[in-house]
Amino acid sequence: MTVDVVQVRPARTKDAEALASTYEDAWRSAYQGIIPHLSLQRMLAKRGLIWWQNALARRTPLLVLDFGGEAAGYVTFGRSRLARSPFQGEIFELYLHPVYQGLGLGEKLFDGARQRLAELRLKGLLVWALTDNDSACAFYLRLGGKPVAEGGERFGDISLRKVAFAWN
């Protein structure tokens, strides 16, 4: 018998604690120095254990990267929020705990979400990243994403640029 140490699977209620902790560490490491400190602190404070318990109870479409039984990363996805877009699917969030980055696991999560969107018959895929998030932009370009749209996102009194990457 072989046991997969790493797998992409739908989230379970009991993942809430690991997801809350993965979320906090991943967002802090990705956005410290990009998103103003106070805005980032507020975002982190809003998304604690209770938020995750509610999200799982609501059955938010969410896949986790299970590493040895722990949720070391997650991806959320659904119908694209971009009006009149030829890209019907969207990845809303894709985050790995920093310890697990750079090992090919982000690509596994991305592929899992892409497959689910295809099963939902949503054609094409879009994902937004802050332009200053060099690592995420490099990752999406490496996976074949094409920059198709730009926008801005407000954090307190500053606005940061963001870019949408798309796949047919």
Ligand X SMILES: CC(C)(COP(=O)(O)OP(=O)(O)OC[C@H]1O[C@@H](n2cnc3c(N)ncnc32)[C@H](O)[C@@H]1OP(=O)(O)O)[C@@H](O)C(=O)NCCC(=O)NCCS
Residues that bind ligand X (CB under 6 A): 26, 30, 94-96, 101-107, 129, 133, 135-136, 138-139, 142
C-beta closer to ligand X: residue 142 or 146 = 142
Nearest approach, Cβ of residue 100 and ligand X (Å): 7
Residue carrying the six token digits 């120095």: 33
42's tokens:
């507020």
Minimum gap (Å) between residue 156 Cβ and ligand X: 20
Cβ closest to ligand X, residue 10 vs residue 102: 102
Helices (H) and strands (E) in the chain, counts: 5, 7
CB-wise, 57 or 81, nearer to ligand X? Answer: 81
> Which residue's CB comes closest to ligand X?
106
CA distance 7 to 105: 9
Q: Which is nearer to ligand X, 23 or 55 (CB)?
A: 23
User: Own/partner pairs for 51-55, CB < 8 Å, 24+ apart?
Assistant: 51/20, 52/15, 52/16, 52/17, 52/19, 52/20, 52/23, 53/13, 53/16
In angstroms, the CA 64 to CA 109 distance is 7
* Distance in Å, CB of 30 to ligand X, minimum: 4
* Least distance CB 1 / ligand X (angstroms): 27
